[in-house]
Amino acid sequence: MSAILGIDIGGSGIKGAPVDTTTGKLLEDRHRIPTPEGAHPEAVKDVVAELARHFGVDGPIGVTFPGIVQHGRTLSAANVDKAWIGLDADALFTQATGQAVHLINDADAAGLAEARFGAGAGVNGTVLVLTFGTGIGSALIHNGVLVPNTELGHLWLRDKEAEGWASDRARERDDLNWKQWSKRVSTYLQHLELLFSPDLFIIGGGVSKKADKWQEHIKLERSTLVPAKLLNEAGIIGAAMMAQEGGAEPEKKGESAKKPTASRTAPKPDGKGAKKK
């Protein structure tokens, strides 16, 4: 068993729990601390350090972020404080916790977890995970290997950015019923179907709990669609999976703050230490 702390930074709460990365199960109850007003990096850093202290971790920590994460830097901030843009958040959290912290995009984390342990378990080929909430997050996974930072919520469609038109926030803002919202989502998914030909779409985020309201209204040409299974644990699990493998990407040049880790490759479906189903 490999127990790794996963932390999910969300708009209203920052949640963490130790995860058995060989089974995808949480080993203790989640601990949640409200996201500090404005989600400024310094304030979020203190919460991440508090969660690490709460669980008394000694080992790598995986942390999600709701924006682009490249080589440990946060490069976009669609729904959080702009101070994150260009920040070496990975180093900031590593220093604050005294442990090697590995950052990953929130949808990428949820996608990895769903593809391995959730609605995509046992599915080969291309899995496209989309999370509908304040924004739209995306994770593209082929045979268990993630292509990070696809950011398909920012795709332009009919002169509109998909996220501003078809997210759950857009549904609430425009006072749409589930059928009206599903029509927008179908237009968006059909376009993604044309671009990626996924074998499976997994729909995550808050709406995954209410699939009975929208699933029957989604029309696709040739792909299968299922709601996510891991609900609000997916981000925590995916973050821990990534940290267990030593992070998503090759070492940054001159990186020195981190403790050495075994390998820095993306997790594989049948990776070392992972139990086969």
Do 25 and 19 contact (CB within 8 A), yes or no? yes
Query: Closest separation between CB of residue 236 and ligand BGC, Å?
Result: 15
Compare residues 131 and 208 and give the one whose CB is closer to ligand BGC. 131
- Rounded to whole angstroms, the Cα distance separating 102 from 109 reads 11
Residue 27 backbone zone (phi > 0: left; psi -120 to 50: alpha; other: beta): alpha
Query: Cα 208 to chain center, whole Å?
Result: 14
Nearest CB to ligand BGC, comparing residues 9 and 100: 9
Q: Please state the closest distance from residue 229 (CB atom) to ligand BGC, in A.
A: 18
The smaller minimum CB distance to ligand BGC, of residues 77 and 225, is found at: 77
Judged by beta carbon, residue 24 or residue 133, the one nearer ligand BGC is 133
**Euclidean distance between CA atoms 36 and 102, whole angstroms:** 21
Q: CB–CB of 33/47 below 8 Å?
A: yes
User: Is the CB of 2 or the CB of 70 nearer to ligand BGC?
Assistant: 70
CB of 75 to ligand BGC, least distance (A): 9
Q: Which is nearer to ligand BGC, 84 or 274 (CB)?
A: 84
Question: What string of DSSP letters covers 50-92?
Answer: HHHHHHT--S-EEEEESS-EETTEE---SSS-GGGTTB-HHHH
Q: How far is the CB of 204 from ligand BGC (least distance, A)?
A: 10
Residues near ligand BGC (CB under 6 A) are 66-68, 76, 78-79, 105-107, 131, 135, 137, 151, 153, 163
What are the Cα distances from residue 264, in Å, to 20, 113, 150, 196, 267? 19, 18, 20, 27, 9
**Residue 134 Cβ vs ligand BGC, minimum distance, rounded to whole Å:** 6
Q: Shortest Cβ distance from residue 18 to ligand BGC (Å)?
A: 23
